[in-house]
Copies of this chain bind each other. A is one copy, B any other.
């Protein structure tokens, strides 16, 4: 009876250990950029085929260095609750693809979205002689990135999503909402912004 109880205890501990190890590995998958959870999918394969419950989305957790020096893709104003004026910048790989009109974007492409509060410029309006000028105020609505790595981010169409508020990554719950929206523009490799010549 004692041996039987010992065997049950041993089996239980072993089972719990395996569960805990799997959970730890899973947590690491979710928070690290260095882990490849692609399951061996090739670049360019669609997310719909690769996203399974066993491979939850990964997000970008580090701000790509030097992004403020990147070249301009385009500009936009989002009214409503966002109420910002924004610039979309890209690293050299993304810019080249944009200018050549190539889709999908090649590996290593990064697109950055910077936003500032949308404010009327009293200074400018005084010169114009009437109210018409809206400029970029203080940074607002964080800084966002899309990073192309078809293997690492296979679960979200080959793009890793990121949002940083004051340099800190947004909670994953918030990042979960990126990909479902970008799915609407799958035909342009999940990228909304068009290049402005």
Contact = CB atoms under 8 A, between A and B. Distances in A.
A79 interface: yes
Interface stretch (A8-16, A39-47, A50-58, A132-140): A132-140
Given A77-B134, A192-B123, A87 B116 contact: no
Contact of A136 (B121, B134, B196): B196
Q: For chain A, which range describes its interface: under 10, 10 to 19, 20 to 34, or 35 or more residues? A: 35 or more
Each complex incorporates copies of this chain amounting to 2
Contact of A135 (B76, B82, B133, B139): B76
A136 B71 CA distance: 16
8 nearest CB pairs, A to B: A80-B132, A77-B134, A136-B196, A79-B132, A76-B135, A75-B75, A74-B136, A127-B184
